[in-house]
Chain A
Amino acid sequence: MRAIPLLAASAVLASAAVEFNRDVRPILADKCLTCHGTDAVNKRIPLRLDSEAAAKADLGSGRRAIVPHQPAQSELIRRVTAPDRARRMPPAATGHTLSEAEVETLRTWIEEGAKWEKHWSFIPPRRTATPPGIHPIDHLVRQRLDREGLRPQAPASRETLIRRASLDITGLPPSPAEIAAFLADRSPKAYERLLDRLLASPRYGERMAARWLDAARYADTNGYQFDGERVMWRWRDWVIDAFNANQRFDQFVTEQIAGDLLPGATLNQRIATGFNRNHRANTEDGIIADEYAVEYVVDRVETASTVFLGLTLGCARCHNHKYDPVTQKEFYQFFAFFNNVPELGRAMKYGNSPPVVAAPTREQQAQLKSLNAKIAAEERAVQGYETEYRAWDASAPQARWTPATGLHKAFAPGEKEAAGGFDNDDRFSFSIWFRADAVPDGPLFTRMTNSEHGRGYGLYARNGRFHAHVTSDYEDDAIRIDYAEPLEAGRLHHAVFTYDGMRMASGLKLYLNGREINPNVTKDTLYRPFRNAGRAFTEPFRVGAGNGKNSSFNGGVEDARVWSRVLAAQEIVAMSNPTSSNARRWQYLDQFASPAVRTAWKRLAELRFERERLEHSFPTVMVMAESPTPKQTHLLIRGAYDKKGEVVTAGVPAVLPALPDGAPPNRLGLARWMVSPENPLLARVTVNRVWQMLFGAGLVRTAEDFGLQGEWPSHPELLDWLATELVRSGWDLKHTVKQIMMSRTYQQSSRAPEELVQRDPDNRLLARGPRVRLAAEMLRDQALAVSGLLHEKLGGPSVKPYQPAGLWKDLIMQDMEYVQSQGPDLYRRGLYTFWKRTVAPPMMLNFDAANREACVVRESRTNTPLQALNLMNDVTFVEAARFTAQRMILEGGADRASRLRHGFLRVLGRAPTASEFAVVEGSLAYHFDYFASEDAARRYLSAGDTRPDPRIAPRELAAYAAVASLLMNLDEAVTKE
């Protein structure tokens, strides 16, 4: 608990004249606008206080709420001071009351003329001129301190400074070597060089990404009830790369909103749009898909408005916004930008839901490139055989050709059944020849469970027409396709079924006698694999037969084959028609060409197959796309998905600047508008979050709300200066970070006299440096870094570090198990920890991490006993303490004193004071005695997957490990000072 402040924040911020935006508007917003705001019309309340004209208008019989210069004539003052409680505003039922000071503020403001201002954040930032010779940030902070009669603190020590800067920029503490180098660098440029080095580190991108993932509600599962796994880490890695490359922030925003709509969009630009697909997605069996399709769009609106605008547009979903000048219609106009996505209301239970894009990693892209080069080389090698081929073609008899590459199974004549294969997220094809004297009817090729509502896939003739399906649950979890093409009786037909493993009807193709036939899709909602809920799927392939005893084809079938790939159309033509030129040529190349050509041809086929497998192994990422046929957006009455009101078109709230001329009315237009210099919000909310990251709280403390209910900035001119500087620098975020960190304001000591702490407990005046507990993932990262366990691999699939046994099992359904990672993946940074929404990593929850359910941009810190237990007893930290102890012993010198000093240096980045040293020395001595029992020592050292260093006696290592744990649990260790 914080000590109770002696001065309320508003008093800290008070100065002489009453200003509408700073002093009056917060009172109106908090106490009056619930009823007298934008929403008043719905409540049939005549008076509105959210616009100047309405507030000063004649209310009838000459009464006016506000009469400038005449408080006594102003109905507003009369009503808030009415002696009769029944007449006094605000009404008792609202639970609001006005303090005397607030009434006085209103009175003074009216006396001074009741001057109205547009809400501050809707006015474009103004750059204040600052004098030379002083850092503009310091100038703007000092002005305020001078008014308050305060002085800044002295600069922090150089040890404190390098730790602070390292944690802020990279999220990791400095190593002893880095500290030594910095202390040895006597140049006046030493600090700036330090910042430059840190900003160039790839760890910077990870640090920045951690907060962006909170804002973008990134997670590795879908959320809601079933909470199956999804794959969005390619988007996460794109974010890290973008920060590390210091991509212009306006471009960073544009690509995430509308990368897919940019001319010639690159793969990376499409991946960037995953930002708008990170929301939760419901996969539960019984849901009404339309209802959730609306929720996803609402989530995008809420996230985009919070992250980019600092506005809570979500409040206007059901009614006009009660506080901010945003109407319900405007909400749905904004909604329309994000509503035109060809997506599923009920999402895929496992894996990504469309639209997705294959997103190869850099390594995979390199592999693909090299494969393509090899393929090109082999293609060149399969040449120069034309003459021989023509001669062969003229003489050789006709024969069927079938592709050999990727052949999984060829049925022998008469063979009816064989071991099955392929789940519905695999790629496969099968072909069959058939003929019936009557109208063809019955199963041709199947792999099905033997029940009416079976799972599996198959191709059937049904009364002379094809039917194909891939089914996980008969009722609602299937792809089902009928074909109008009639199947002639009494002739031989060739059918090929190909399936690309994407669980969409568009990935299932059917060919009749070499020609692809038109599907009539009757169901396209395949959500689960056959192996769903831990069920085994062991059915065989059946030829000419399906599930059920009496189910068989009414004619003959032959030469059934299955491939573990998607056959190409040309191959299918060649298979069905032995006289086709490809069939002839490929038969020749398979069997009759010269050995050199044959070998190259074989290699070529293998390489192409390898490429197909490689491409199918690419991780996908969910992305934004536009529906080819635009979806109509309606205002939804009271926000309900099924209560459609008027049709609306995409647009931005009228209180903000209009869309730029010529901007398309889609996400790209929105992105252009978002980053345009006229938008007063984007730069402000962005620099405010950077400030929050460095100081623990933003200049606007309500980082998520720059609207009327948000807090007034503590330093408006400073916020505007930073915002204009961000734009001026070409949206250079590293520049912003460095600018702030170069200020004396940032570099001052966080130690402060008692009086200052009491007067300004939250450090709103910035008369001292930041002192903030580390964020959840930084606590983990620091423990791994100081112990040397940290595995600094950048990016890749999320990992599963230590977690208490059974946590998932306690809560979830049958088929997801927490399988702990092995080896180096146990020691990755916190931002790579697998985030399951319904059972989030417990350490992250304990230390106030954003919940990843919905967008969170405000950092919060609490202080609880569960945190203490976590840091003392979680195997992650016990093992890290042991490794720290090993380093103290092996790298700290020969005697106890120097080893303890080394521990201090490693964990806190500084030397101990004499009194501190006495305490740790006492602790070490105690633990030497305590661990005289070798059994206790061995058990204490057994935490984690690693083994203790055998060069060190268990008793000694255990005693040092206990001391290391002590140091790592210090308030100073868990705090950035």
Chain B
Amino acid sequence: MTQTRRELFRLATGGIGFTALADRLMADPVSAAPHFAPRAKRVIYLFQHGGPSQLDLYDYKPALTRLHGTELPDSVRMGQRLTGMTAFQAKFPTAPSIFKYAQYGPDGMWLSEILPHTAQVAGEICLIRSMHTEAINHDPAVTFFQTGFQLAGRPSIGSWISYGLGSECSDLPSFVVFVSQGKGASQALADRQWGSGFLPTRYQGVKFRAAADPVLYLSNPDGYSSTARRRYLDDLARLNGIKLADSGDPEIATRINQYEMAFKMQSSVPGLTDLSDEPESTFRMYGPDSRTPGSYAANCILARRLAERGVRFVQLFHRGWDQHGSLPRDIRLQCQQTDQPSAALITDLKQRGLLDDTLVIWGGEFGRTVYSQGTLTAADYGRDHHPRCFAMWIAGGGVRGGLTYGATDDFSYNVVENPVDVHDLHATVLHCLGMDHTRLTFKFQGRHYRLTDVKGRVVRELLA
């Protein structure tokens, strides 16, 4: 190494080839690797923020029609706790979905009429109708899905996966997040939902925005070109190289590398987020919104582009599913924004041969109640938060397409068959990625933490 230090110094003062040498010396010693052969290499998680109504999308309950307006039987509700918003409500009138259902795909999956595009990929997706969670309010419920715990502070699922598997590409972060706005009432989100908790910050999600800077501080200052930046970084590396030779702190070599990585991101990210090189057919597939930067549809295209480049975990948050009132109107609008792009993403990945090793997840933080919140009419109702059952779907890498898994009671109130909780989902996702959820641990404050806390079961029935 002394030899190397001298060499570094010579190169630093001479200039040529310095950064390449630093690269060679200090390549990221990622020791992360799967525990067993993975079925999926990456994840695209379409988080439907606010709590989509399973009753109006995925959980067909034809028998409810006759019970319109009747009081939800106590035998179903069983005194279960309600949010403070409906706990004082005097009546709990049953509100059947106004939407029609039909069967789709080779296995006859029941889907609502407001999901016409999802219906076309029914053979690819695995619908879980028996999800349940512990939380009844947005923030704890989203935190639970993101970190396996209701209170903030633990690493998010994307951070865990980046930590466990490392990065597949050198010029982009391994965990990328997008946020889009729905048409309905939007609940607040928090940066920490993609934070790295007690894992090192390098595993935190990097939010890409539909702004001049897709990544914060990505652009050079006005008037400063990429050529000038290249020269600047060469000089910076020379000076840092002199310091490295003098001080011997390996952290300096890391810093040199990180500045190089920053430069690579400056070149790769704008090209990545600029959709002008996509053919017309892409925009037709993802629908009219996809030309609008920042829309859910545009983000779905970006998710595919990131998957192509090997980004490990892409997470889209789409807000606006919190339909306490005027649900029929608002959920229709929400589906107009999300149905076509979600389905297009599946089709697009499949056409490109990426669906085999990409796991796609669609779902929110909880479901919604069968009884109406506020006034129930023939055509209108609202629904409160409902943690006891809701629906999600997964598709791609390792998943049994076309399968409908789990069942709820006649009121879509309780799970009656094959329950899947949040820890189970996490365990299953990690399993698809080749990781044993009990072995993906990080020691912090004297304890070995896991994404699945002390629970979780791999739901093998969902897997091909």
Binding site for B on A (CB under 8 A): 1-4, 29, 93, 95, 223-227, 280, 282, 284-289, 295, 312, 315, 322-324, 346, 475-476, 702, 704-705, 707-710, 750-754, 757-758, 761, 771, 773, 804-806, 810-813, 837-840, 842, 845-846, 848, 851, 853-854, 860, 862-870, 872-875, 878, 913, 915-916, 918-920, 922-923, 926-927, 930, 935-943, 958, 962, 965-966, 969-972, 974-975, 977
* Residue B385 is within 8 A (CB to CB) of chain A in the complex: yes
* Residue B28 is within 8 A (CB to CB) of chain A in the complex: yes
By beta carbon, the residue of chain A nearest B220 is A873
Are the C-beta atoms of B222 and A1 separated by less than 8 Å? no
**Residue from A805, A866, A873, A971 in contact with B206 in the complex, judged by beta carbons closer than 8 Å:** A866
Are the C-beta atoms of B223 and A853 separated by less than 8 Å? no
Are the C-beta atoms of A853 and B192 separated by less than 8 Å? yes
Are the C-beta atoms of A918 and B84 separated by less than 8 Å? no
Are the C-beta atoms of B216 and A869 separated by less than 8 Å? yes
Are the C-beta atoms of A754 and B2 separated by less than 8 Å? yes
Residues of A near B418 (CB, < 8 A) are none
Are the C-beta atoms of B200 and A860 separated by less than 8 Å? yes
User: Complex Cα distance A864/B216, Å?
Assistant: 13
Known: A227-B190, A286-B84, A708-B446. A962 touches B228 (CB 8 A): yes
List 5 A-B pairs, minimum CB-CB distance, nearest first.
A709-B446, A286-B83, A939-B223, A940-B223, A838-B190
Are the C-beta atoms of B200 and A970 separated by less than 8 Å? no
5 further interface pairs, Cβ-Cβ under 8 Å (given A284-B139, A285-B85): A707-B446, A752-B247, A752-B248, A920-B235, A943-B221
B195, B218, B259: residue with the most chain A Cβ atoms closer than 10 Å: B259
Known: A751-B246, A811-B179, A873-B221. A225 touches B232 (CB 8 A): no
User: Complex Cα distance A3/B250, Å?
Assistant: 7
User: Complex Cα distance A838/B188, Å?
Assistant: 9
* Residue B16 is within 8 A (CB to CB) of chain A in the complex: no
By beta carbon, the residue of chain A nearest B151 is A295
Are the C-beta atoms of A284 and B445 separated by less than 8 Å? no
Residues of B near A754 (CB, < 8 A) are 1-2, 5, 248
Are the C-beta atoms of B186 and A927 separated by less than 8 Å? no
Known: A285-B85, A805-B211, A922-B235. A862 touches B201 (CB 8 A): yes
Known: A227-B188, A288-B84, A704-B445. A869 touches B243 (CB 8 A): no
Residues of B near A965 (CB, < 8 A) are 232
Residues of B near A962 (CB, < 8 A) are 224, 228, 232
Known: A751-B246, A805-B211, A919-B235. A936 touches B439 (CB 8 A): no
User: Complex Cα distance A805/B200, Å?
Assistant: 27
User: Complex Cα distance A93/B454, Å?
Assistant: 12
Residues of B near A875 (CB, < 8 A) are 221
User: Complex Cα distance A864/B204, Å?
Assistant: 11
* Residue B417 is within 8 A (CB to CB) of chain A in the complex: no
Could you tell me the distance in whole angstroms from the C-beta of B218 to the nearest C-beta in chain A?
Answer: 6
Q: List 13 A-B contacts (CB under 8 A).
A: A29-B446, A287-B137, A323-B447, A753-B248, A804-B213, A810-B209, A838-B191, A851-B152, A851-B192, A853-B152, A860-B200, A939-B223, A966-B239
Are the C-beta atoms of A971 and B255 separated by less than 8 Å? yes
Are the C-beta atoms of B153 and A853 separated by less than 8 Å? yes
Residues of B near A930 (CB, < 8 A) are 225, 228, 231
* Residue B280 is within 8 A (CB to CB) of chain A in the complex: no
Are the C-beta atoms of B138 and A811 separated by less than 8 Å? no
By beta carbon, the residue of chain B nearest A772 is B251
Are the C-beta atoms of B216 and A804 separated by less than 8 Å? yes
User: Complex Cα distance A565/B439, Å?
Assistant: 64
Binding site for A on B (CB under 8 A): 1-2, 5, 12-13, 26, 28-29, 81, 83-85, 88, 136-139, 151-153, 173, 179, 186-192, 195, 200-202, 204, 206-207, 209, 211, 213, 215-225, 228-229, 231-232, 235-236, 238-240, 242-244, 246-252, 254-256, 258-259, 261-262, 264-266, 384-385, 438-439, 441, 443, 445-448
Are the C-beta atoms of A323 and B446 separated by less than 8 Å? yes
Are the C-beta atoms of A923 and B191 separated by less than 8 Å? no
Residues of B near A4 (CB, < 8 A) are 29
Are the C-beta atoms of B231 and A288 separated by less than 8 Å? no
Known: A810-B179, A813-B187. A312 touches B236 (CB 8 A): no
Residues of B near A974 (CB, < 8 A) are 255
Could you tell me the distance in whole angstroms from the C-beta of B331 to the nearest C-beta in chain A?
Answer: 19
Residues of B near A922 (CB, < 8 A) are 235
Are the C-beta atoms of B265 and A869 separated by less than 8 Å? yes
Residues of A near B190 (CB, < 8 A) are 225, 227, 811, 837-839
User: Complex Cα distance A750/B249, Å?
Assistant: 9
Residues of A near B438 (CB, < 8 A) are 93, 95
Could you tell me the distance in whole angstroms from the C-beta of A420 to the nearest C-beta in chain B?
Answer: 28
User: Complex Cα distance A429/B65, Å?
Assistant: 54
Known: A286-B85, A286-B385, A940-B221. A972 touches B243 (CB 8 A): yes
Could you tell me the distance in whole angstroms from the C-beta of B311 to the nearest C-beta in chain A?
Answer: 14
Are the C-beta atoms of B189 and A287 separated by less than 8 Å? no
Residues of A near B446 (CB, < 8 A) are 29, 312, 315, 323-324, 702, 705, 707-710
Are the C-beta atoms of B248 and A751 separated by less than 8 Å? yes
Residues of B near A926 (CB, < 8 A) are 228, 231
Known: A813-B186, A838-B189. A806 touches B211 (CB 8 A): yes
Residues of A near B192 (CB, < 8 A) are 837-838, 840, 851, 853
User: Complex Cα distance A166/B243, Å?
Assistant: 21
B139, B231, B261, B438: residue with the most chain A Cβ atoms closer than 10 Å: B139
Known: A806-B209, A851-B192, A873-B219. A927 touches B262 (CB 8 A): no
Residues of A near B216 (CB, < 8 A) are 804, 842, 846, 866, 869-870
**Residue from A224, A288, A773, A838 in contact with B81 in the complex, judged by beta carbons closer than 8 Å:** A288
Are the C-beta atoms of B255 and A870 separated by less than 8 Å? no
User: Complex Cα distance A138/B81, Å?
Assistant: 62
Are the C-beta atoms of A919 and B445 separated by less than 8 Å? no
By beta carbon, the residue of chain B nearest A289 is B84
User: Complex Cα distance A256/B206, Å?
Assistant: 37
Are the C-beta atoms of A773 and B251 separated by less than 8 Å? yes
Are the C-beta atoms of B258 and A864 separated by less than 8 Å? yes
Are the C-beta atoms of B235 and A915 separated by less than 8 Å? no
Are the C-beta atoms of A862 and B247 separated by less than 8 Å? no
Could you tell me the distance in whole angstroms from the C-beta of A460 to the nearest C-beta in chain B?
Answer: 22
By beta carbon, the residue of chain B nearest A848 is B201
Could you tell me the distance in whole angstroms from the C-beta of A752 to the nearest C-beta in chain B?
Answer: 5
Residues of A near B385 (CB, < 8 A) are 286
Are the C-beta atoms of A940 and B222 separated by less than 8 Å? yes
Residues of B near A757 (CB, < 8 A) are 248-250
Residues of B near A806 (CB, < 8 A) are 209, 211
Are the C-beta atoms of B189 and A811 separated by less than 8 Å? yes
Residues of A near B384 (CB, < 8 A) are 286
**Residue from A227, A838, A865 in contact with B265 in the complex, judged by beta carbons closer than 8 Å:** A865
Could you tell me the distance in whole angstroms from the C-beta of A709 to the nearest C-beta in chain B?
Answer: 3
User: Complex Cα distance A831/B255, Å?
Assistant: 25
Are the C-beta atoms of A1 and B26 separated by less than 8 Å? yes
User: Complex Cα distance A958/B229, Å?
Assistant: 14
Are the C-beta atoms of B223 and A862 separated by less than 8 Å? no
User: Complex Cα distance A863/B216, Å?
Assistant: 16
Are the C-beta atoms of A869 and B217 separated by less than 8 Å? yes
Are the C-beta atoms of A225 and B217 separated by less than 8 Å? no
Residues of B near A935 (CB, < 8 A) are 223
By beta carbon, the residue of chain A nearest B196 is A862
Residues of A near B137 (CB, < 8 A) are 225, 282, 284, 286-287
Are the C-beta atoms of B83 and A936 separated by less than 8 Å? no
User: Complex Cα distance A217/B223, Å?
Assistant: 40
Known: A476-B88, A866-B217, A869-B218. A2 touches B251 (CB 8 A): yes
Are the C-beta atoms of A224 and B265 separated by less than 8 Å? no
User: Complex Cα distance A969/B260, Å?
Assistant: 13
Are the C-beta atoms of B153 and A750 separated by less than 8 Å? no
By beta carbon, the residue of chain A nearest B385 is A286
Residues of B near A750 (CB, < 8 A) are 247, 249
Could you tell me the distance in whole angstroms from the C-beta of A349 to the nearest C-beta in chain B?
Answer: 12
**Residue from B26, B191, B195, B262 in contact with A865 in the complex, judged by beta carbons closer than 8 Å:** B262
Could you tell me the distance in whole angstroms from the C-beta of A803 to the nearest C-beta in chain B?
Answer: 10
